[in-house]
Each structure stands twice: as C-alpha cells, then as structure tokens.
C-alpha cells in the first residue's frame, strides 16, 4: 500500500483524497434518492472491478458473472433465513461456493482448451443452467423468489447488515475502495504481471515459464469470490432474490458495462465507468418521464446507443484518455 502511494503522482494523490472526502461526506448532504444512486454506483464499481480482474488483466471473457452474484446472494440469504447466520460471517461460505463454481468452470474451460467466444458461451451456459435450476428447485424459493424479511426491531443491527441507506452506502463504499486497492496491489504483483503476459500472448507466457493454467484459474476463482461478496450485499440491500432476475444474462451484461466503458485492465476504469453510466441511466429515466415519453424501453435504447458510440469512438475506455487529460500519468523516462 505504501509503495502504491509512493508511486502515484502528487496530482493523483490530491484527486484521490478529494474524491474520498466527497464520498465519505456525501451522506450528510445528499438526499435519500441521491444516496441510493451513489450506492448503486459503488456496487457496480465493485462488481465491475471483480470482473475486470478476470477480463481486463487475465484476458478471460466471462459473460456469466451474474452466476456468482446470484450464488453469493443465495448462500448469504439462505444462511441468514435458515440459521440466523449473519452476512459478515455468511459471506465466507458464499465466497467459497462461488469460487467452487468458478473453479469448476475454469477447469472445464482451460483444461480442454476452450477459449474466447467458446469460453464466454460456456460461462453463459452455466449461469443460465443455474437460473433454470433455481427456478425449479423448491428449497431456494423457486421462481417465487427468496425474501429476507424486514424486521423493524432489527434495524440498526449493523453486525447483521440490517439497517438503512446510510449503512448500505458505507458498506458499498468500503467494498469499492477495497476492490480498487486490491486491484492496484494485484496489478503490480507477480501474479498481475503473469496475467498480463497470459492476456497478451499465452504461448509466449508459457515459453517464459509461466503456469498459464494456474494463472487463469486464480483469476477466475478470485473474480468469482469477489463477485459473490457483491451478491451478498445485493441480497441484503434489496431483501429479495428471484432466479429470473439475479441469474439473467441481462445482469451479466449490466455488470460488465462499467469496466468496459471506463477502461479494461485499468485500476480506476470500472469506477469511472460506474460513475458515468449509472447517473446517465438515472438521468434518462428522469428525462423521458418529464418529456411524457414514459417507457422503460426508451432508457434502454439510449443505453444501447451510448454503448455503441463509446465502443466506436473510444474502444480502450474513458479512463486512459481521462487520465491523460487530467495529467495523472507519470511521464515515461
């Protein structure tokens, strides 16, 4: 961490400090709605970062990350509903289960040389398979959904993650910040460089003695476990889980938008992407309803357009460009 701090430029340090102060202080000035939007942004920054580790750094395209969100959510929620085990503890089994699924998918994929589009479709297949299974399994509530009951007397039990917008906002902030630090640390670790090598050229990576299989497996397992934490947060924040919603491929796509728009394989890309996309989405809802064009599809159409425009104009994402404009990059010696 100290090394990280030393390596950032003075201007970047100021910016990080200002942003952190703003985010920590936000709940004291923002209204409930703004705070809920901010919570959503931080959530997407977090899960986007988890996906970014796997795709942006290790170069493995997963289009089924909703699987890990759903698994994490279900494990966390079931432990709480059945046994009264709180999420701070329940998050560990949740991570374990998701990591297990990730390991199974990774093993199948990497052992048998399934790559690129094939691997992506494999991840979709597992997510869809689980969605339909959960839809038809009784003990998870099936298609009718699983609910975390609202108990008025429990509000304020932060040790059980029961509380209001305030609590969830700070938890989301903590998660997002921790994910950024973790990514930054990993990016300059031995493993991080191995990932980059694998991403750029697997054969060359193998030739210099990198265990490609192991590096990819670590990326999937780590990413799955991190995403599961987001799933537990999701379950307790919204208080309900429907297989058709959490495991839906639309969710997987939603989750990967922030890192792609922000910049794949960068530490701050997912955060910048989330801060850009989520408010734009909210703005579009407000705008279309003001114009009397109140249709949920209208927002999505704009969303689709934005995606196409960004990928045509800035395929590497916003952050690398923004960092240059703001002068945050270190000059190369």
Contact 9, 16 (CB under 8 A): no
Contact 243, 67 (CB under 8 A): no
Q: Closer CB to another protein, residue 21 or residue 311?
A: 311
Query: Is residue 158 a contact point for another protein (CB under 8 A)?
Result: no
What is the closest distance, in whole angstroms, from the C-beta atom of residue 168 to another protein in the complex? 28
Q: What are phi and psi of 150, to 5 degrees?
A: -85, 120
Residues from 22 through 81 that contact another protein (CB under 8 A): 55, 61, 63
What is the closest distance, in whole angstroms, from the C-beta atom of residue 44 to another protein in the complex? 16
What is the closest distance, in whole angstroms, from the C-beta atom of residue 145 to another protein in the complex? 15
26, 81, 125, 178: residue in contact with another protein (rule CB under 8 A):
125
Alpha-helical (H) ranges within the chain are 2-7, 10-29, 32-52, 66-83, 87-111, 116-136, 165-187, 190-200, 202-207, 212-238, 243-246, 249-262, 269-290, 296-313, 318-325
Closest among 330, 317, 331 to 48, alpha carbons compared: 317
Q: Closer CB to another protein, residue 84 or residue 296?
A: 296
Query: Is residue 312 a contact point for another protein (CB under 8 A)?
Result: yes
Closest among 79, 56, 203, 96 to 146, alpha carbons compared: 79
HSE (side-chain half, CA atoms, 13 Å) at 83:
9
What is the closest distance, in whole angstroms, from the C-beta atom of residue 98 to another protein in the complex? 18
Part in contact with another protein (CB under 8 A); list of ranges 11-19, 45-53, 80-88, 249-257: 249-257
Alpha carbon distance 73, 87 (integer Å): 10
Query: Is residue 4 a contact point for another protein (CB under 8 A)?
Result: no
Q: Closer CB to another protein, residue 26 or residue 114?
A: 114
Alpha carbon distance 213, 113 (integer Å): 10
238, 279, 303, 322: residue in contact with another protein (rule CB under 8 A):
303
12 has which bridge partners? none
Query: Is residue 112 a contact point for another protein (CB under 8 A)?
Result: yes
Residue 52: CB partners within 8 Å, gap ≥ 6?
183, 259, 264, 265, 266, 269, 270
What is the closest distance, in whole angstroms, from the C-beta atom of residue 128 to another protein in the complex? 5
Q: Closer CB to another protein, residue 195 or residue 233?
A: 195
CA angle 81, 87, 90 (to 5 degrees): 85
Residues from 255 through 294 that contact another protein (CB under 8 A): 260, 264
What is the closest distance, in whole angstroms, from the C-beta atom of residue 253 to another protein in the complex? 6
Q: Sign of the C-alpha dihedral, residues 324, 53, 175, 10? A: negative
Closest among 74, 78, 125 to 104, alpha carbons compared: 125
16, 30, 85, 253: residue in contact with another protein (rule CB under 8 A):
253
Q: For the window 205-244, what string marks contact with another protein as x by the rule CB under 8 A?
A: ----------------------------------------
By CB under 8 A, name the binding residues for another protein. 55, 61, 63, 108, 112-114, 116-118, 120-122, 124-126, 128-129, 132-133, 135-136, 249-250, 253, 260, 264, 295-298, 300-301, 303-308, 310-312, 315
């Amino acid at each position: 961490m100290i090394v990280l701090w030393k390596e950032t430029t003075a201007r970047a340090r100021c910016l990080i400090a200002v942003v952190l102060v703003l985010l920590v202080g936000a709940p004291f000035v923002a209204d409930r709605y703004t705070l809920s939007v901010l919570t959503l942004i931080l959530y997407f920054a977090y899960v986007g970062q988890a996906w970014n580790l796997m795709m942006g750094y290790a170069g493995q395209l997963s289009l089924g990350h909703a699987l890990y969100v759903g698994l994490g959510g279900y494990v966390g929620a079931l432990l709480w509903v059945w046994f009264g085990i709180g999420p701070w503890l329940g998050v560990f089994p949740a991570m374990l289960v998701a990591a297990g699924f990730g390991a199974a998918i990774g093993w199948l994929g990497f052992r048998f040389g399934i790559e690129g589009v094939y691997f992506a479709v494999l991840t979709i297949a597992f997510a869809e398979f689980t969605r339909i299974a959960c839809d038809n399994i009784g003990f998870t509530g099936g298609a009718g959904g699983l609910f975390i009951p609202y108990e008025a007397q429990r509000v304020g039990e932060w040790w059980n993650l029961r509380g209001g917008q305030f609590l969830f906002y700070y938890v989301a902030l903590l998660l997002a910040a921790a994910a950024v630090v973790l990514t930054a640390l990993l990016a300059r670790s031995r493993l991080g460089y191995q990932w980059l090598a694998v991403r750029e050229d697997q054969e060359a990576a193998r030739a210099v003695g990198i265990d490609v299989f192991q590096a990819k497996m670590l990326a999937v397992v780590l990413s799955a476990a991190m995403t599961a934490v987001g799933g537990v947060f999701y379950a307790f924040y919204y208080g309900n889980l429907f297989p058709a919603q959490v495991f839906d491929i639309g969710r997987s796509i939603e989750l990967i938008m922030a890192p792609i728009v922000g910049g794949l394989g960068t530490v701050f890309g997912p955060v910048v992407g989330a801060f850009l996309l989520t408010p734009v989405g909210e703005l579009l809802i407000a705008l279309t309803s003001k114009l009397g064009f109140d249709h949920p599809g209208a927002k999505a159409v704009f969303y689709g357009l934005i995606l196409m425009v960004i990928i045509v104009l800035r395929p590497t994402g916003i952050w690398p460009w923004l960092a240059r404009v703001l002068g945050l990059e270190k000059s190369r010696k």
